[in-house]
Chain A
């Protein structure tokens, strides 16, 4: 089972993920219709990708009165059945990350569906700040990255001693 994960320190803020997302989902390039957002702290030079994390105990799913939100077992994702959505927006209130968006034209919400297991945002993330992989592999990316830093520091220290 794969999960969608972010490495904010790798994000360059280019927003390609948002454009890829909107094109994959609504067929147009749009920043406001994207289901993933990149928050740009321009003045501080920091960019943070904010996707839906498809929480295991998802608050949105818990509050949905019509069960329009449900968990897809196959890709382990929180999905939306548009036909059941009554546009009450309780899920938007419940989501701690603001990952649920409101479609003012059709008067229902929309959210990330992981492109049914092949997320478009990941394909266009040049620096791999957004990754779709197994939890084991994601942990490995992190420990290996940290180990590289430690290795560099140890090497530098060894050079100084010599």
Chain B
């Protein structure tokens, strides 16, 4: 199948499904949108911006669920299996989206579609079947009520093992607001409750298999760039330690405990006495099925990093538990809930996956309820007799079952996330929430990891690390480079603020690119294989070897698509995508006062660990916001976007729209 689309790499079509009208349309991809927003996260945001009614109820048929795979998905470059899912979030009420690995994105593209745009609501439980030109909305009555693993297994048995499946579990059907969508059994489009949106459309699963081929603009140049990118990853000092491949994302759990940013008992403490018990090393030794001959787990498409784990519990109470434990689930069900029993943590994480719930929001909500019990804000009776205290592993597991089923008082309270639970509890419980813009905070303490913290305050989907992911502040080996890029001697010193605005600005722009083209966060943050960092490391004599290889996304995208891009264009494109998401959020009412951190992080000092006493200083946050808005060209007083910024970024249609709505800042 030759691409008829102007640009290479793309499948060249959008697949539009209106479930209410039982309409399936294949429409040409938009040249203009691709040139400005690339694909994936960028195109999802553009489609929502253009088509989503501003006052849409997130769980009504009028919400739009977009799934997009970027232009380099399925094209052999390192980590190119990712796709993006977006809709208005039922959890936060603002722009919701989540990026996910696995293989479905490539199958969608090989079937001929870059984007899948789902509107309306099916009359009865259904699943979407995609196999090249054949697209059908099929009956899924036999799957409704089942969890993720069983649903996926049945579909693969029916359709063939080569079909890739994204499915929701019981939690989404029951209306849990942070229900997720699980891809190929184990990979989560986790955050912002997109599973609940999918359930509200009566869609149980999406199964795809494509037999087409994807071509690129300049094949010879493309292979050169991609080969360089593979070498850049292999030569990255972080990759070369082999730790991330051998232990998975959870490798940072012990580091966080030592560095003092690992949240313990809902952020009340910063040192976990049982950290070793729930560490990645312990998981490898006790449960991992792949220890030899090379340590390491499994991979998403074309990924050299292989951070996925796979393990099995072979005996005891949780016998039969299987899958992989990653850091946010380990940190959430472990330290954040005060649980030091790895079997329980592993089991809890796999229950969350199978029911289809975001491990971060779920564990945060349970940890919050635990704190409410400890503080006497709610009693055991308020939770139907479940003794939900910090460290009570059995109560945590029981809570997961009840939340997924929205069963009883505990189930109802837990299924709506931290903010709504706090409101329901009342009596001033809101003072202990750990959310930004309605989204629960991950397992990294913003009072210590201030770059992460500032990232939570401004992230377009609420308190989340993956919009920016400025890992560089934790890795002193990059100090010189980070100083040059972000202009402060404090860049690699935790609990300081120097350089954080520029740091978050740069990381956000690059992350917007990788999420949009379909590459993984870990290539530019965790590893720093991205141009110009390997070059800067070499300049300071911090790299061995004569030749320097780096991932040059601008050249990569150009060779793949034919869209000409320099490094500066690349950063500007990232900026454009972040600004588009801001425009979307502006329409949902987001202003400067929402770009903040909850009271806990601004006022309550860190209780222990090396940064005992630290808070995220309010005046530091305000100063960073001023600097950040200046960098972005957003208005400092309101947080609205300036007209000149939209002009500079060639976003004419957004400019006109915001002007009409009176949502544009003056100069």
Contact = CB atoms under 8 A, between A and B. Distances in A.
Contact of A14 (B213, B223, B290, B302): B302
B634 interface: no
A19 B81 CA distance: 12
B103 interface: yes
Interface in A18-69: 19-20, 22-23, 26-33, 39-40, 42-45, 47
Contacts of B624: none
A145 interface: yes
A143 to B, nearest CB: 12
B322 A45 contact: yes
Given A33-B213, A124-B230, A7 B75 contact: no
B285 to A, nearest CB: 12
Contacts of A2: none
A12 B299 contact: yes
A75 interface: no
A127 B298 contact: no
Interface residues of A, number: 34
Most chain B CB inside 10 Å of its own CB: which residue of A27, A28, A149: A28
Nearest to A33: B213
A13 B289 CA distance: 15
Nearest to A22: B213
B301 A40 contact: no
Interface of B is mostly: loop
Contacts of B216: 29
Contacts of A89: none
Given A7-B293, A22-B213, A29-B75, A14 B301 contact: yes
Contact of A19 (B76, B215, B219, B234): B76
A70 to B, nearest CB: 27
A72 interface: no
A71 interface: no
A14 B219 contact: no
B75 A19 contact: yes
A42 B293 contact: no
A42 to B, nearest CB: 5
Interface string A100-139: 0000000000000000000000001011100000000000
B293 A145 contact: yes
A13 B76 CA distance: 13
A81 interface: no
Interface string B177-196: 00000001110000000000
B292 A145 contact: yes
B235 to A, nearest CB: 13
A161 to B, nearest CB: 20
Nearest to A19: B76
Contacts of B306: 12, 14, 126-127
B213 A15 contact: no
Nearest to A40: B161
B167 to A, nearest CB: 12
B293 A43 contact: no
B323 to A, nearest CB: 8
B296 A39 contact: no
A16 interface: yes
Contacts of A20: 76
Nearest to B213: A28
A23 B76 contact: yes
B214 interface: yes
Contacts of B310: 45
B474 to A, nearest CB: 26
Contacts of A47: 298
A29 B153 contact: no
B605 interface: no
Given A27-B215, A30-B213, A10 B76 contact: no
Interface in B280-337: 289-290, 292-294, 296-304, 306, 308, 310, 322-324
Contact of B304 (A23, A31, A45, A126): A126
B22 interface: no
A128 B293 CA distance: 11
Contacts of A7: 293
A127 B296 contact: yes
A27 B293 contact: no
B149 interface: yes
Contacts of B324: 45
A13 B299 contact: yes
Contact of A43 (B103, B153, B213, B303): B153
B290 A9 contact: yes
Nearest to A14: B299
B234 to A, nearest CB: 8
B110 interface: yes
Given A9-B290, A27-B219, A30-B212, A45 B298 contact: yes
Contacts of A22: 213
A127 B303 CA distance: 11
Contacts of A23: 76, 219, 223
B74 interface: yes
Contact of B293 (A9, A29, A31): A9
B322 A19 contact: no
A42 B110 contact: no
Interface string B441-477: 0000000000000000000000000000000000000
B211 interface: yes
Contact of A127 (B215, B219, B294): B294
B185 A16 contact: no
A1 to B, nearest CB: 25
Nearest to B185: A42
A30 B214 contact: yes
Contacts of A31: 74, 106-107, 110, 162, 210-211
Contacts of B234: 126
A29 B213 contact: yes
A31 B216 CA distance: 16
Contacts of A39: 161
Interface in B230-246: 230, 234
Given A9-B290, A14-B306, 12 more contacts: A14-B303, A15-B302, A20-B76, A23-B76, A28-B1, A31-B106, A31-B107, A31-B211, A43-B149, A45-B290, A126-B230, A148-B293
Interface of B: 1, 74-76, 81, 103, 106-107, 110, 149, 152-153, 156, 161-162, 184-186, 210-216, 219, 223, 230, 234, 289-290, 292-294, 296-304, 306, 308, 310, 322-324
9 contacts: A14-B303, A16-B302, A23-B219, A29-B215, A30-B110, A31-B74, A31-B110, A45-B310, A128-B294
